[in-house]
């Protein structure tokens, strides 16, 4: 389904011209390409070095999605910097590439500031990215297969949460959650901090977020494969098909796909920061059983609905999704989501879009053995699930972060938002989307003048991230290098 797509399909994409008088500014070692018919002299001298070198479009090669990591890096570092100098239009529009939590929140908050946007997302079944829910009719079977729950620490997110609670989009997860140690010892977490879930799952929450907006268009499924600066605007396209032109763009996704998209975009600094991001891989095994899983010892005394698993190589999390999402259902089937450790994901990494059958069988067996070990069951005693589905999240969670809410290149009129800017959680992605939206609105309000004052995070160093394998939850963390509360205070 392609939703509300209202752009002219007759946009002409032309080769970028060499500016006659490239009075452009370069960020450090990158050459700049001025993208306008009129060349402006900024009123204040930016912090960046002047670069009067003529830029050419010769070195710009068509992006190839089969390109090696090394050549991506080389192209990323050698590409020319785009420098938009045309004034911002009176009614600017932002192209947001990625309809996960950060991109959707960015669109919502741009609207709050009176700025129009279009969100492009690859999702075939819906929006939300890593807020994924799978429902298999007619039983129904239901599984959140990435984000499991979220916590709320920041007052700005709390305000949003209250609105979602009021609309019934989310609810507090009342089930018991805690740590399950190898052998079946369960230690419940205290009720505080509260843990929230999408009432019908995470994806329905994501799908509902833009219902009440009037200045946001959504285009899905759509895989933006090219960004081209031309005549003061960003032109986006999907495999040669024009997808519209935008005053600014937001990259609200990460990983290999973003690296390839940015490789020849004219945004070397943004591309360089994106390339520094490191991501874990996590296997998700969805399994439906006829009978409840046998709980014994402390797990029988306190039947849990969700558990961070400790001391089992193949498993970091298990949750009873039937109990979590279908409260009223009595009896079977019993749907469980099992998530692997990041270490197990790394050991068994394969291309996520083409998982060899032998790997799938090995991983499924390894994870079910992990369930037995976690629950303290004897080997081979676990009942066979009547339904399973295995998925690899090849770019699951960030393991390092610049610890700033967003990155913005005012010369290229492009920003990045996403969980990894601040941490690894739904809350981090929400705060990032909000903060970038406000920054872009401020930049537009300023008419694009004094661009260097709006540059954020282009040289920021990264630091390692720790927490649970499936995210950081203030109050539920085991050990962290950084106090996330402090990190959230960095958000303007």
Ligand X SMILES: Cc1cc2nc3c(=O)[nH]c(=O)nc-3n(C[C@H](O)[C@H](O)[C@H](O)COP(=O)(O)OP(=O)(O)OC[C@H]3O[C@@H](n4cnc5c(N)ncnc54)[C@H](O)[C@@H]3O)c2cc1C
What tokens does 195 get?
């843990």
Interface segment toward ligand X; rule CB under 6 A; list 68-76, 82-90, 355-363, 418-426:
418-426
Give the span between the Cα atoms of 385 and 367, in whole angstroms.
12
Residue 120 in the binding site for ligand X (CB under 6 A): yes
Q: Count of residues binding ligand X (CB under 6 A)?
A: 40
Give the span between the Cα atoms of 345 and 132, in whole angstroms.
19
Residue pair 74/269 in contact (Cβ under 8 Å)? The answer is: no
Nearer to ligand X, 88 or 146 (CB): 146
Give CA torsion, residues 449, 452, 454, 456, to 10 deg.
160
> Could you tell me which residues come within 8 angstroms of residue 394 by beta carbon, excluding any fewer than 6 positions away?
255, 256, 279, 281, 349, 351, 352
Residue 393 in the binding site for ligand X (CB under 6 A): yes
| Beta carbon of residue 71, minimum distance to ligand X (angstroms, whole number) | 19
Contact with ligand X (CB under 6 A): which of 103, 201, 266, 412? Answer: 103
- What angle (nearest 5°) sits at the alpha carbon of residue 282, between those of residues 160 and 397? 40
Nearer to ligand X, 222 or 270 (CB): 222
Residue 482 in the binding site for ligand X (CB under 6 A): no
Within residues 145-204, the interface with ligand X by CB under 6 A covers 146-150
Give the span between the Cα atoms of 265 and 414, in whole angstroms.
10
Q: Strand, helix or coil at 70?
A: helix
- Per-residue contact string for residues 249-268; x = within reach of ligand X by CB under 6 A: ---xx---x---x-------
Interface segment toward ligand X; rule CB under 6 A; list 74-82, 406-414, 417-425, 442-450:
417-425
| Beta carbon of residue 184, minimum distance to ligand X (angstroms, whole number) | 23
State the alpha helices, DSSP H only, in 446-470.
Answer: none
Q: How far is CA 397 from CA 149, 230, 425, 470, in A?
A: 15, 34, 8, 7
Question: Residue 244: left if φ>0, alpha if ψ -120 to 50, beta else—which one?
Answer: left
Contact with ligand X (CB under 6 A): which of 51, 121, 154, 305? Answer: 121
Give the span between the Cα atoms of 366 and 388, in whole angstroms.
14
Residue 118 in the binding site for ligand X (CB under 6 A): no
Interface segment toward ligand X; rule CB under 6 A; list 82-90, 135-143, 419-427, 457-465:
419-427
Give the span between the Cα atoms of 224 and 243, in whole angstroms.
8
Give the span between the Cα atoms of 320 and 144, in whole angstroms.
10
| Beta carbon of residue 48, minimum distance to ligand X (angstroms, whole number) | 29
Within residues 434-473, the interface with ligand X by CB under 6 A covers 470-471
Residue 489 burial class via C-beta count within 10 angstroms: exposed 0-12, middle 13-18, buried 19 and up = exposed
Nearer to ligand X, 351 or 380 (CB): 351
Contact with ligand X (CB under 6 A): which of 270, 282, 318, 374? Answer: 282
| Beta carbon of residue 236, minimum distance to ligand X (angstroms, whole number) | 9
Residue 484 in the binding site for ligand X (CB under 6 A): no
Strand pairing category for 400-401 and 216-219? unpaired
Interface segment toward ligand X; rule CB under 6 A; list 18-26, 64-72, 126-134, 441-449:
126-134
| Beta carbon of residue 51, minimum distance to ligand X (angstroms, whole number) | 30
What tokens does 329 get?
């259902």
Residue 342 in the binding site for ligand X (CB under 6 A): no
Residue 33 in the binding site for ligand X (CB under 6 A): no
Residue 429 in the binding site for ligand X (CB under 6 A): yes
DSSP string, 244-265: EEESEEEE---SHHHHHHHTTS
DSSP string, 182-214: TTTEEEEPPS-S--EEEBTBHHHHHHHTTTT-S
Taking alpha carbons only, the member of 210, 146, 170 closest to residue 395 is: 146
Question: Residue 482: left if φ>0, alpha if ψ -120 to 50, beta else—which one?
Answer: beta
Nearer to ligand X, 226 or 272 (CB): 226
Residue 412 in the binding site for ligand X (CB under 6 A): no
Contact with ligand X (CB under 6 A): which of 99, 184, 229, 451? Answer: 99
Within residues 9-28, the interface with ligand X by CB under 6 A covers none
Nearer to ligand X, 23 or 223 (CB): 223
Nearer to ligand X, 27 or 488 (CB): 488
Residue 100 in the binding site for ligand X (CB under 6 A): yes
Write phi, then psi, for 365 (nearest 5 degrees): -65, -45
Interface segment toward ligand X; rule CB under 6 A; list 72-80, 99-107, 207-215, 265-273:
99-107
Q: Which residue has the tokens 């450790």?
A: 341
Give CA torsion, residues 38, 42, 48, 54, to 10 deg.
20
- Per-residue contact string for residues 41-80; x = within reach of ligand X by CB under 6 A: ----------------------------------------
Interface segment toward ligand X; rule CB under 6 A; list 121-129, 179-187, 362-370, 443-451:
121-129
Residue 258 burial class via C-beta count within 10 angstroms: exposed 0-12, middle 13-18, buried 19 and up = buried
| Beta carbon of residue 49, minimum distance to ligand X (angstroms, whole number) | 32
Strand pairing category for 32-34 and 81-83? parallel
Nearer to ligand X, 22 or 266 (CB): 266
Nearer to ligand X, 192 or 378 (CB): 192
Contacts with ligand X, residue ranges (CB under 6 A): 97-103, 120-123, 129-131, 146-150, 222-224, 252-253, 257, 261, 282, 284, 339, 393, 396-397, 418-419, 424-426, 429, 470-471
């Amino acid at each position: 389904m392609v939703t509300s797509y209202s752009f002219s399909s007759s946009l002409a994409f032309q080769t970028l011209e060499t500016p006659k008088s490239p009075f452009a500014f370069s960020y450090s070692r990158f050459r700049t390409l001025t993208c306008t018919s009129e060349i402006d002299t900024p009123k204040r001298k930016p912090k960046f070095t002047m670069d009067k070198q003529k830029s050419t479009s010769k070195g710009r090669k068509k992006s190839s999605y089969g390109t090696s990591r090394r050549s991506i890096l080389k192209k990323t570092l050698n590409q020319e910097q785009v420098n938009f100098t045309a004034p911002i239009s009176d009614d600017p529009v932002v192209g947001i590439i990625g309809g996960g939590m950060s991109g959707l929140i960015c669109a919502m908050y741009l609207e709050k500031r009176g700025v129009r946007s279009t969100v492009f997302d690859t999702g075939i079944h819906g929006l939300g990215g890593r807020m994924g829910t799978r429902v298999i009719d007619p039983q129904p079977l239901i599984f959140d297969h990435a984000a499991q729950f979220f916590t709320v620490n920041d007052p700005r997110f709390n305000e949003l949460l209250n609105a979602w609670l009021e609309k019934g989009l989310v609810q507090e997860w009342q089930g018991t959650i805690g740590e399950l140690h190898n052998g079946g010892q369960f230690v419940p977490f205290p009720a505080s901090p509260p843990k929230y879930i999408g009432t019908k799952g995470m994806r329905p929450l994501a799908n509902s977020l833009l219902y009440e907006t009037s200045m946001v268009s959504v285009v899905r499924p759509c895989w933006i494969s090219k960004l081209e600066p031309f005549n003061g605007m960003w032109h986006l396209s999907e495999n040669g098909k024009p997808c519209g032109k935008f005053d600014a763009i937001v990259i609200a996704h990460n990983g290999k796909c973003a690296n390839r998209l940015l490789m020849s975009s004219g945004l070397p600094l943004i591309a360089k920061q994106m390339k520094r991001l490191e991501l874990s891989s996590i296997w998700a095994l969805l399994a439906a059983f006829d009978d409840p899983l046998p709980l014994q010892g402390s797990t029988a005394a306190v039947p849990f609905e969700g558990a961070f698993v400790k001391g089992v190589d193949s498993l970091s999390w298990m949750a009873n999704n039937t109990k979590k999402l279908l409260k009223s259902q009595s009896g079977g089937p019993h749907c469980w989501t099992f998530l692997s450790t990041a270490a197990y994901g790394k050991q068994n990494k394969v291309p996520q879009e083409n998982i060899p059958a032998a790997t799938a069988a090995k991983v499924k067996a390894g994870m079910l053995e992990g369930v037995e070990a976690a629950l303290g069951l004897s080997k081979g005693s676990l009942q066979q699930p009547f339904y399973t589905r295995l998925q690899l999240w090849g770019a699951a969670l960030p393991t390092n972060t610049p610890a700033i809410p967003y990155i913005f290149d005012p010369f290229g009129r492009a920003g990045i938002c996403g969980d990894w800017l601040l941490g690894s959680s739904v809350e981090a992605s929400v705060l990032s989307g909000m903060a970038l939206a406000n920054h872009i609105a401020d930049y537009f309000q300023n008419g694009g003048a004094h661009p260097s004052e709006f540059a954020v995070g282009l040289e920021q160093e990264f630091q390692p991230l720790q927490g649970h394998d499936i995210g950081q939850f203030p109050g539920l963390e085991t050990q962290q290098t950084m106090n996330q509360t402090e990190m959230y205070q960095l958000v303007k």
